[in-house]
Amino acid sequence: MAKDGKVILACSECLSRNYTTNRKKNSQKRLELNKYCPKCGRKTLHKETK
């Protein structure tokens, strides 16, 4: 996890890193969101990467 709270979200299917976002520092679990992936052309699950 980044020290300033910024994280990178990567598509779980094509593994492209599409989004950056902020999150709370006291969260222990990795962030998972359904976002649109322009490479896949549809909504997919995006997971937080290191």
- pLDDT tens string 7-33: 999 999 999 999 999 887 777 888 999
Q: Which domains does the chain have, with CATH numbers?
A: 6-49 (2.20.28.120)
Distance of alpha carbon 10 from alpha carbon 13, whole angstroms: 9
**2 pLDDT above the threshold of 60:** no
For residue 12, the SS3 value is: coil
pTM more than 0.85: no
